[in-house]
């Protein structure tokens, strides 16, 4: 696996200054969340650094990396280019940087879509991407508050916003995004029902 210092040099070669700053912000926030929730801070930092490595590649090049991964994706995925870069980056870091740690690869791959059955590191990078200090969208303080309370609550909030925006704008919704939302909502509802029965 490529050392962190080399990853930083690669970031500076491949991304504009603002995206590099965002990547550092995600890496730092991922470490903070990892320490809070009991994940490996080093893996969190590495995944945070790498998550947007392919963001500025032309779409055709991103697609080439995605196809090399051999992952079967639904048709809706291919109609939403903004979510391609995570899947491209996962394959890129596997081949070009010899990252074989599946936790890191999945955290990078699914940081834009989420998926059903996300492990802790995936959840951390997914949330860190939208809560790092440089983020300034209208609901960011709400998402940050939720992230400190529960990664799952933060992810449901983020997915609800994302899905709502896609529905309003007539965008396609990929299978992984729906599956992540459904699983987390069903789990939450089940836990609430169990709590109600116990009370």
Mean pLDDT, consecutive 10-residue segments, the chain of 199 residues? 96 96 98 98 98 96 93 87 95 97 97 95 98 91 96 95 86 90 89 63
In this predicted structure, what is the pLDDT of residue 196? 61
pLDDT in tens, 43-81: 999 999 999 999 999 999 999 999 998 888 888 899 889
164 CB contacts (<8 Å, ≥6 apart)?
none
Q: Which CATH number fits domain 4-198: 1.10.1740.10, 1.10.3210.10, 1.10.3720.10, 3.30.70.20?
A: 1.10.3210.10
Rounded CA gap, 43 and 53, in Å?
Answer: 16
pLDDT value at residue 4? 96
C-beta neighbour count of 159 within 10 angstroms? 20
Q: What is the DSSP letter of 97?
A: S
Give the pLDDT of residue 195: 66
Q: Phi and psi at residue 27, in whole multiples of 5°?
A: -60, -45
């Amino acid at each position: 696996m490529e050392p962190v210092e080399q990853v930083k040099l690669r970031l500076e070669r491949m991304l504009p200054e603002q995206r590099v700053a965002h990547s550092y912000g995600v890496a730092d926030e991922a470490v903070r969340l990892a320490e809070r929730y009991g994940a490996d801070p080093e893996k969190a930092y590495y995944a945070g650094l790498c998550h947007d490595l392919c963001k500025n590649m032309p779409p055709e090049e991103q697609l080439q990396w995605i196809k090399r991964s051999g992952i079967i994706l639904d048709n809706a995925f291919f109609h939403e280019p903004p979510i391609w870069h995570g899947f491209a980056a996962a394959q890129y870091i596997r081949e070009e940087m010899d990252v074989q740690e599946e936790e890191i690869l999945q955290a990078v791959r699914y940081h834009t879509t989420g998926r059903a059955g996300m492990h802790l590191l995936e959840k951390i990078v997914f949330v860190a991407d939208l809560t790092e200090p440089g983020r300034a969208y209208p609901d960011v303080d709400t998402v940050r508050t939720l992230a400190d309370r529960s990664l799952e609550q933060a992810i449901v909030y983020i997915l609800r916003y994302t899905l709502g925006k896609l529905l309003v704008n007539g965008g396609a919704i990929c299978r992984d995004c729906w599956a992540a939302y459904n699983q987390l909502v069903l789990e939450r509802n089940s836990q609430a029902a169990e709590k109600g029965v116990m009370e």
